[in-house]
Structure formats: structure tokens, C-alpha cells
Structure 1
Amino acid sequence: MQRICLYPKDVVALTGRSYDAAKRLVRRAREAAGKPAGALVTVQDFCRLTGLDEEEVSRALNS
């Protein structure tokens, strides 16, 4: 089963940012998607914000 949710540790691995910067980026993706605090952020939400290719991100997460 493929993962569709994204966590700060995943953003660290994908982007090379620090954990704190990754948390802020996940928070921004959640807010941009109009989700409440504590809601899960999907790969699609993250890719919309960052402009990264959804297939590449999914492939990196599920490898």
C-alpha cells in the first residue's frame, strides 16, 4: 500500500531542510489546503505548495 500522508521527517529526507523548517513547510501546506490544525497533510497538498512533481515525491516516499 502506498503512503499518501507526509510528515516533517519525510520533508527532511526529500528536501534536505532542517526538522524545524520541515515542520513549518508542512504547516504551510496544511494551511494552504484549508485544513484544520492537526489534520494530515497529503503528498498532493505538499506538491501543490512546493511545485514538486507528485509522482517523484510518491516514488521517493514508497521506495
Structure 2
Amino acid sequence: MITKRACIYPKDIQRITGRSERYGRKLLNQIKEHLDKKPHQFVTINEFSEYSGIEIDIINLYIN
């Protein structure tokens, strides 16, 4: 069985966008604020895809 992660981390955003890890943390906080999530809650790959406009297939290439 192949397991895939459900959530995205700042390091993943850094690899996908080519920006800094600090930018990834800032972007995750903006997404959480936009989605009315609490600070301890995770951002899923689907939520990141919808917010950023990047297709899930492209995101999966960088995460796996």
C-alpha cells in the first residue's frame, strides 16, 4: 500500500514555488486565515491547490 501525505508543509511550498521557506510559512498562515482555521490545524494539499491555483498533479510531483 502506497501512503501519501494529506497535508503540506513550508518546505514543500519552497520546492514547488522556488521561494524561501519563510515565504512558505507566511503563505500557510494566509491560507489558514482565509479558511478560518486555527493555528494548530493543518492545510491539506487540496486546500493549497485551490488557494494557489496549482494543479494537484504538479504538487504531487514535488511531494512524492
Shared fold (TM-score greater than 0.5)?
A: yes
List runs of 5+ in structure 1 lacking aligned partners. none
Give the match's secondary structure for 1:6.
coil
Identity %, equivalent residues: 29
Aligned residues: 62
Structure number with higher strand proportion: 1
Distance in 1, Cα, partners of 2:12 & 2:5: 11
The two structures have a TM-score, normalised by structure 1, of 0.85
Deviations 1:33-55 (A, max 9, x none): 22111211111111111110012
List runs of 5+ in structure 2 lacking aligned partners. none
The two structures have a TM-score, normalised by structure 2, of 0.84
Equivalence map 1:39-58=2 (5 Å): 39-58=41-60
